[in-house]
Amino acid sequence: MLDVSESKLAQYVFHYVSDSLVFGEEAFSQPEVMLEAAFTQLAFHKIDLEQQYEFFHETDIGLNEVYTYAKSIFDQESSFLEQSKNIAKHLQSSSQHPNIKSGELFIGLFDQCVMSTEVKKVLAIVKIDEKEMFLDVKNDQNHLTVSGIDGINVKKLNNMAVIVDMGRDEPPAVFIKTKKKEDVVYWQERFLKIKVADEHYHKTNLALTEVKKYILKEENFSNTEKLGLLNKTLDYFRNEEEFQVNDYIDSVFQKVEAVQKDVIVNTVKPYETVISESAIEKAEKTYKRKIKLDSNIEIQVNVRDIEQVDELIEVGFDETTNRKFYKIYFHEEE
């Protein structure tokens, strides 16, 4: 995991990327504390540190533009401004589509970042294509004035890349966040040209995400059945070394129609892989464990086996009140 709590912003610059480029002509350093905190939040806010990427090229990694510019900055920090302009030029050439907006490009070089207990340099690249109106209220000798400022919200999601210098003999680690799914093509594939560093993690994560979507959307399953199936899914991934879709279906679903089976197979067959434990840990944080009722009551369920769910929670309908109910069985309160 990347820790930037003690990081220092060594250099930073803004360029403007549109049909014509506007370069920042000076690289700034040592911003005052509040500004540095804002830039740090802009660079790392909501970045996905669970999924690591790496640069690639079909013939020669040295022909990957962002890789080459980033390595030059890490090797010789005095080249920061020059290489930041090269990054802006490459982004412009990768953004030739009417749906890609013009905007500011923030590039910052951070020192004193920590990854796996080692201190690292990090290059952050953020494309900002939307500004917001902020109100600036000033009190001058008990006289209040209000003006509008067109500015950047540092907490807002942007297209982002964080490149970690892993050392002269190791390829940089890359982490990204895209504003929209449609931005993946130009940001990830054309501009950065990166691929997943851990294919097993990536496929396990996708498989867990897709089967979760299927279970939650399937109307033939009750809420308690969905909870049981999600927990059995996690059990399957915990206990098996490889994800095989047909074996998964046989292990998790007691009854599944041919049409349902085809849907699952067609969705997750491409993600068959050696199972990644770290991907399971991530999924456990997001898998549903609650039944939400329209009476603003939530029932949290932590049992893993679907048979246990059926034994502990009973669903019924009260004809007198014309309402559904849950009956919950237990031995003692804790």
One domain, residues 172 and 235: no
Q: Please check whether residue 77 lies inside any domain of the structure.
A: yes
Selected residue with higher pLDDT from 56 and 323: 56
- With a pLDDT cut of 90, the percent of the chain lying above it is 56
One domain, residues 13 and 140: yes
- Give the side-chain half-sphere CA count within 13 A for 156: 11
Residue 111: domain span: 2-197
One domain, residues 120 and 191: yes
Containing 124, the helix (H) or strand (E) segment is strand 118-128
One domain, residues 54 and 167: yes
Q: Please check whether residue 20 lies inside any domain of the structure.
A: yes
One domain, residues 57 and 177: yes
One domain, residues 164 and 242: no
Tell me the Cα Rg of the chain: 25
One domain, residues 241 and 296: yes
Give pLDDT, residue 25: 92
- Please state, rounded to an integer, the average pLDDT across all residues of the chain: 89
Q: Model confidence at 306, in pLDDT bands (50, 70, 90)?
A: low
Q: Please check whether residue 40 lies inside any domain of the structure.
A: yes
Last residue of a domain, one of 163, 197, 231: 197
Q: Model confidence at 292, in pLDDT bands (50, 70, 90)?
A: confident
Last residue of a domain, one of 169, 197, 225: 197
One domain, residues 234 and 321: yes
Q: Model confidence at 285, in pLDDT bands (50, 70, 90)?
A: confident
Enter the tokens of residue 231: 């927990």
Q: How many CB atoms lie within 10 A of CB 253?
A: 18
One domain, residues 154 and 226: no
Q: Please check whether residue 15 lies inside any domain of the structure.
A: yes
Give pLDDT, residue 69: 97
The β-bridge partners of 146 are 137
Give pLDDT, residue 131: 86
Selected residue with higher pLDDT from 11 and 312: 11
Last residue of a domain, one of 144, 173, 197: 197
What is the average per-residue pLDDT within 161-170?
Answer: 93
Q: Please check whether residue 334 lies inside any domain of the structure.
A: no
**Shortest CA distance to 31 belongs to which of 102, 133, 106?**
106
Q: Please check whether residue 333 lies inside any domain of the structure.
A: no
**What total number of domains does the chain contain?**
2
Integer Cα distance of 170 and 187 in angstroms? 23
Task: Check: CB of residue 127 under 8 Å from CB of residue 18.
Answer: no
- Residue 24 pLDDT more than 90? yes
Integer Cα distance of 197 and 206 in angstroms? 15
Vertex 123: Cα angle to 175 and 27 (nearest 5): 150
Q: Please check whether residue 113 lies inside any domain of the structure.
A: yes
Task: Give phi and psi for 252, each to the nearest 5.
Answer: -100, -40
- Residue 44 pLDDT more than 90? yes
One domain, residues 30 and 67: yes
- With a pLDDT cut of 70, the percent of the chain lying above it is 96
Give pLDDT, residue 307: 59
One domain, residues 207 and 227: yes
